[in-house]
Chains A and B, each alone.
Chain A
Amino acid sequence: MAAPPYATRSEVVAHYGLRVYVGLVLLFLIAPILAIMPLSFNSETFFSYPMPGYSLRWYDDFFTNNRWQSALRLSLVLAFLTTLLSTTLGTLAALGLVRGNLPWRATIMAVLISPMVVPIIISAIGMFFFYAKLNMLGTLPGLVLAHTALATPFVVITVTATLSSFDKTLMRAGESLGASPTWVFFKVVLPLILPGMISGALFAFVTSFDEVIAVLFIAGPEQRTLPRQMFSGIRELISPTITAAASVLIVISTLLLVAVELLRRRSERLRGVR
């Protein structure tokens, strides 16, 4: 887009200067992610360009090595259970929060959102001491509950946002036509807030799938998730398999981003927001 014809010389300079600057910043944002992916196809064990040859050996290692595979499996199971639990809890919390007659609403919301803001290391230490008393350290339920606490705020936020534009007269209309509250919920409310729930669920999935600090504190030595495997991999010695793992994760998050964007646009279109 060119500068308008009536622009003064300094405006033209500012116009193109801004474009160059913004281009550089966007390059800075995207470059590390783009630079890491080709390196995962390197046939040698070092991390610099130009690469001597291409190979799939690191992907082969990632998908056949037992350490990486068991880590991937544990991460998927953990993220799946966390998503189920936090989507259920977060949606219920959001439904309660939008009721007009709820006292201390702002405070409850602040407490529910706090795990997103409080440094995870603090939550992790608290969980460590608490779980130690309950003998839940190193157990799968312990990990699922920990990740649920961290992921639920995302569901609360997305579902609350969907509910804020929700027309409450629809519920009354359903009830006046003789439907029970449960029936109204499943037939009227749920279909309308589903996009918010799904994008919340995707956020919850990503949160659990990426989380490493709580896992470091409360997981047992044999419970290695994918992020934990990567974390110790970088700390000890960097194997190029990490670049393959990182690329796989980048592809997964890109797919999730596309899914969330499509959902958002769909719901905006349905509700006629722009």
Chain B
Amino acid sequence: MPLTVAMIADWDGKDVPGEEAFAALAADLKAAQKTRQAALIGKRLNYEIPTLKSKVTVTARKIEKVETGPWKEAVIAIDPVWNQVETWATIKRASSAYTPFYLLSVLDLKQETSGSIVQVEDNRKIYRGILWRTLGISFLVTLLTLVLGYPVAYMLATLPTRSANILLILVLLPFWTSLLVRTTAWSILLQDGGVVTQLMHVTGITWLLNLVGVLDGEPSLYKTRFSTVLAMTHIQLPFTLLPIYSVMKTISPSYMRAARSLGAKPAYAYWKVYMPQTLPGVAAGCLLTFILCLGYYITPALVGGPTDNMIAGFIDSAMNSEGNWGRASALGVVLLAATLILYYVYNKLVGIDKMKLG
């Protein structure tokens, strides 16, 4: 809307602008109606004030039939929304090439007409929930991989090289198998009546869960949060395990022997002598897993349900289903910022030079 934007360039934003601005608006809308762009203008304004899209298209259609002014009365007669300061303020804000709107909206914030930044109403808050869910799932997966991986790394590091190498293959094979293949495998195994359900039935887990009342009948695992976390834990386990393993391999067993010979009980010696030395590996593995988890897209999309989508899934749907590129980019910036901060921490703590593959 070039004419309107030029007209309100130095509008003070206190009252509804005068006749000239309305004349410009009418001319713009007429032009837009000819080139069929009225819906596009409406769509952009609709992001900020819902319902504005239909109002813009209706006004554009009706104003075409109006030949002469005064434009102000004519436009307001079509829709009183044009008599509100907020509508004009939105047009003015949207006319700039730069806008904080998208970035604010994905943090559930909005800019008032006066320019101050406030939180949106509670019933329209969706994005913080997604951010928290992404962080929550990532944290849970990281914790699970640590709990599962640490003892395995310990055993691999203390076994004789020959048998350790054989067991190491069991860790490296899933690591090398493509993420998509492993996700595919899980989505097939977790189907209703699939292998996992059968296994739970045979081992009596289903019976037990029914007994304590957590479950009623056969479990339905596919497309649930449980499946998402299970599959992600499986995929990330080698990423947490391998850095811990490579640190543990460098710890000399003589420290533990020294502690024992000085009279420490095994658990105490382990806690005071061995465990602190493994912490660099734990930090490296957990940070790497957490960073990689934040960006998960394929696994939640394929084995998770609609409420398990993480931030990357919303970037995809904003981009490909809604065509809202501004929102996709804003969500991307949030995700990228989180990743880069953690990457910086990783680099300071561990150093990328230390990053090893397999």
Interface residues of chain A, those whose CB is within 8 Å of chain B, are 1, 8, 10-11, 14, 18-19, 21-22, 25-26, 28-30, 32-33, 35-36, 39, 46-49, 106, 109-110, 113-114, 117-122, 125, 128, 154, 157-158, 160-161, 199, 203, 206, 209-210, 212-213, 217, 227, 230-231, 234-235, 238, 242-243, 246, 249-250, 253-254, 256-257, 260-261, 264, 274
B189 x A25 contact (CB < 8 A) = no
A-B contact pairs, 29 of them (CB 8 A): A22-B152, A25-B151, A25-B152, A26-B171, A28-B234, A29-B234, A30-B173, A32-B174, A32-B182, A32-B185, A33-B173, A33-B182, A35-B195, A47-B195, A118-B343, A122-B295, A125-B328, A125-B329, A125-B332, A158-B357, A209-B178, A213-B297, A217-B319, A238-B191, A249-B181, A253-B176, A253-B181, A254-B176, A256-B176
Known contacts A121-B297, A121-B312, A235-B302; A47/B176 CB under 8 A: no
**Residue B172 at the chain A interface, CB threshold 8 Å:** yes
Known: A119-B295, A235-B302. A113 touches B194 (CB 8 A): no
B179 within 8 A of A: yes
Count, chain B residues at interface, CB 8 A: 67
What is the predominant secondary structure among interface residues of chain B facing chain A?
helix
Whether A29 and B347, one on each chain, are in contact in the complex, defined by CB atoms closer than 8 angstroms, is no
By the criterion CB–CB under 8 Å, are A32 and B234 in contact? yes
The verdict on B294 contacting chain A, using a C-beta distance below 8 Å, is yes
- B residues contacting A by CB (< 8 A) are 148-149, 151-152, 154-155, 159, 161, 163, 167, 169-174, 176-189, 191, 193-195, 198, 234, 237-238, 266, 291-292, 294-295, 297-298, 301-302, 312, 315-316, 319, 328-329, 332, 335-336, 339-340, 343, 346-347, 352-353, 355-358
Contact across chains for A33 and B188 when beta carbons are under 8 A apart: no
Which B residue's beta carbon lies closest to that of A210? B178
A249 B302 Cβ-Cβ under 8 A: no
Is the beta-carbon distance between B339 and A206 smaller than 8 angstroms? no
Complex: A231 Cα to B155 Cα, angstroms = 36
Decide yes or no: A234 and B353 within 8 Å by CB, A36-B189, A48-B194, A254-B176 being known contacts.
no
B177 (CB) vs chain A CBs: closest residue = A253
A181 to chain B, nearest CB (A): 26
Assess the B336–A242 pair: CB atoms within 8 A. no
Interface of A, helix, strand, loop or mixed by DSSP: helix
Closest A residue by C-beta to B301:
A235
Residues of chain B with a CB closer than 8 A to A26's CB: 152, 167, 170-171
- B176-A242 in contact (CB<8A): no
Minimum CB–CB distance from A103 to chain B (whole Å) comes to 17
Chain A neighbourhood of B172, CB < 8 A: 257, 261
Nearest 6 pairs of A and B residues by beta carbon: A119-B295, A210-B178, A36-B185, A32-B185, A257-B176, A253-B176
A49 to chain B, nearest CB (A): 6
* Contact between A227 and B180, CB atoms less than 8 A apart: yes
- Are the C-beta atoms of A36 and B188 separated by less than 8 Å? yes
The answer to whether A242 and B297 touch across the interface, beta carbons within 8 angstroms, is: no
Residue of B nearest to A209 (CB): B178
Establish whether residues B148 and A119, one from each chain, have CB atoms under 8 Å apart when the complex forms. no
**Contact of A119 with B188 at beta-carbon distance under 8 Å, contacts A26-B167, A33-B174, A157-B357 already known:** no
Closest residue on chain B to residue A274 by CB atoms:
B161
Q: Which residues of A contact B319 (CB under 8 A)?
A: 125, 128, 217
Known pairs A157-B357, A253-B177, A257-B176; list 13 more (Cβ under 8 Å).
A39-B188, A114-B343, A118-B336, A118-B343, A119-B294, A119-B336, A120-B295, A122-B335, A125-B328, A154-B357, A212-B298, A253-B176, A256-B176
- CA of A133 to CA of B108 in the docked complex: distance in angstroms? 31
In the bound complex, residues from chain A placing their C-beta under 8 Å from that of B336 are 118-119, 122
Residues of the B chain whose Cβ atoms lie less than 8 Å from the Cβ of A117: 291-292, 339, 343, 346
Q: Report the Cα distance A48→B189, complex, angstroms.
A: 8
CB-nearest residue of chain A to B358: A260
Q: List, in ascending order, chain A residues with CB within 8 A of B185's CB.
A: 32-33, 35-36, 246
Q: How far is the CA of A210 from the CA of B176 in the complex (A)?
A: 10
Known: A48-B198, A235-B302. A250 touches B181 (CB 8 A): yes
